[in-house]
Each structure stands twice: as C-alpha cells, then as structure tokens.
Amino acid sequence: MTSTMERVTAKALELGVPITAQLDLTYRCNQRCIHCYLDHDDRGEMSASEIRDLLNQMARAGVLFLSVSGGEVFLREDLFPVLEHARALLFDVKLKTNATLIGERDAVRLRALEIRHVQVSIYSHLPEVHDSITQAPGSLERSLAGIRLLRAQGIRVVVANVLMRQNTRDHAGVKALASELEAQYTIDPTITPHLSRDRSILALNIPRGELERIFRDETLVGDLACFTAPPGPVDDSILNGIPCSAGHTACYVSPFGELYPCVQFPLCCGNVRLQPFAEVWRHSPQFQEIRSIRARDLATCSSCVHLGTCTRCPGLAYLEGNMRGPSTADCEKSFLRTGIEPAHTLAQPR
C-alpha cells in the first residue's frame, strides 16, 4: 500500500509544489572542516525580517518540511526568533548544527519548539581524528556535550558520519558512540566538490576498497541481499521518471537569498531578494529546464542497467560539467554495491 508520504509527494510533483526546502541562515562557522564545500564569508546575509517574509512566502507556496542549516546556525543571534516563526507557520523543522555552542537553555527552547530532530556531524570517536577534521581543538568534546544536553530534553538527535580517508576506520566507534547517546546514526561516503567548482577536496574520498568493505557491512547497509541485489529491468516508467526531486518538489535557499534546486546543485535559479519565492520557483528558466529532463534524456545513464536503482545526483553531475550526464561517484557506488559495471564505466577507453 502506498504510504501517506508517498501520496503527498506524488501530488506535490503533479502540482509543482516545493514541499521540501533547506534554508541556510549563514555560511559563517566556528569550525573549518577540511571537506567543507562552502565559503565562510558573510556576503550580506538576509536579515531576520527578510527571513520571516521568505518563510511566509514559502508557506504560501506549499513548503511543509524545512531544514534549517549553515554554516553554524547558532552564530545567528536571531536563530530562535526565526525558528519560532517557522514553527508558528507549522513547518516541520529539522535543524543542522555542530552543537558546540548549545547550552542548556538552548536545548530547553528547542524542546519547546518541538523541532523534528537535530542533526550533528561527528567524524570520529577519537578526539584527535575528529578535531583534525574540524580544525577546531576540543570540538568533539563540545559537540558531545551539546548532544547530551539535547538528549536530556528528549530531543531526537541524528549523528551524521561523513566518511573520508582520515576517518575511514572509525565508523564503528562513531556508531557505538551514537548508541550510547541514544541517537540515530547515519553514514555518508560522499565528499561534495566546493561550490566554486574546485574539485581538489575529492582527494579526501575514501579508497574503493574501503567503500566496498563498508557496502558489505550489514550493520551499516541493512539487508545485505537486498542492498547488493542486481538491478531490475529498466522499463518506460523508469525512463519517463524524473531523475531527482531537486527542482521538482525540493529546493534550497542560501543565506544571501539565492534559490537553487538543492544545496548540492549550485545552479542559481534566481534570488528571493529580487523576486518573490513563488515567481522564481514557477517561472525561472533554470527550474524549467531541470523540470523538462526525464531519465530517458540523461546522457549515458539512460542506457545504464542501474538507471532505476542508482543514487545519481544531478548536482554532482552538474559540477562535473553536465547536469544530464553521470555522477561518477554514484556510478562507483552502483558498481561496488552490485559488482555490475555501469554504462559510464563501460564507455570509458580501456
């Protein structure tokens, strides 16, 4: 039976409603993570009043699910008034933070706001590894202290573990730490290129052998037989489907009002400081182009056996030079999951 959320998403796609949005309040941060894809300069962040007006517009446009992120959101002195306004508009709010600046009073206020969950990145259970990634001495200790304050208030916490060469062997320790904290645990083996298109940080990606080992760990991927199963046949329903929800039912707004399909898809479609949110969402040529693309239009991918099961990210493909092309990081994941070569790899000179 189709779930309620699947029905809501299908209706939003039919009507062109952006039910999911991420809003970054700032790119400023008190950490300097080596894999971060953002610049940390303040190029003129939206004011609290601009953000309130934007939230009003987003609510009218149909946004239901709102992720509030940064940078480090607790560097915004007006964070709580923004969150209070978002909750008054009945947004289902998720918060992303490194938790190093959270005090007991903050945790109490977040509980009162009934935030869906708070996501905190933890890179290692070892302070020397975590702190070398954040380039902030003592950051692991402070993040864990913040998580404990949140959990003491009964707030759901998601520990996000981005994997890279520096912490490749530490995921078991981070998962155990999350369990101790009674927090949810997720892994992410993808390093995102810098939004400036500088791809040098991709050198941090974990080696193929390590990723393959992770993909064979049932405690991380769930049902191994299902996870590694060969892809099914590619039929017309897949070929006529949309490649991703970005720009269809989801969007991202930067601290400076720029509207994008997704935080990982840096194709600027307009600015909400210059045009109403709904006008950009409905009429931007960039959004219109994205919405015209179906899976059958994808260069190389449309002929790939993995088309229906690949986690292909159009934003990562865009950063490689072609939003209709393959995302090579996702091609690699499909191969390591199933052992079946993707079309992109088969097309490369031997």
**pLDDT (tens digit per residue) in 175-224:** 999 999 999 999 999 898 888 878 899 999 998 889 999 999 998 888 99
**Could you give the C-alpha distances from 267 to 227, 246, 273, 326, in angstroms and in order?**
32, 11, 17, 17
Query: What average pLDDT does range 118-142 have in this prediction?
Result: 98
Identify the helix (H) or strand (E) that includes residue 250: strand 250-253
Which of helix, strand or coil describes residue 90?
A: coil
Which tens digits make up the pLDDT trace of 272-314? 999 999 999 999 999 999 999 999 999 899 999 999 999 999 9
The whole-angstrom distance between residue 6's C-alpha and the CA centroid of its chain comes to: 20
pLDDT of 346 > 80? The answer is no
pLDDT, tens only, 296-307: 999 899 999 999
Q: Contact 184/156 with Cβ under 8 angstroms?
A: yes
User: For residue 16, is it left (φ>0), alpha (ψ between -120 and 50) or beta?
Assistant: left
| Predicted pLDDT of residue 1 | 40
Separation of alpha carbons 37 and 213, rounded Å: 26
71's CB contacts (< 8 A; 6+ apart) are 24, 25, 26, 27, 28, 29, 38, 40, 255
**pLDDT at position 197:** 79
Average pLDDT score over residue span 20-25 = 98
Sign of CA dihedral 102, 103, 107, 113: negative
Residue 86 confidence (pLDDT) above 80: yes
Which residues face 162 on adjacent strands? 188
Q: What mean pLDDT comes out for the span 41-63?
A: 96
pLDDT mean over 37-49: 91
> Could you give the CA distance from residue 325 to residue 264 in angstroms, rounded to a whole number?
15
Highest average pLDDT, of 128-137, 204-213, 319-328, comes from 128-137
pLDDT of residue 233: 92
Of 346, 341, 317, 347, which Cα lies nearest the Cα of 329? Answer: 317
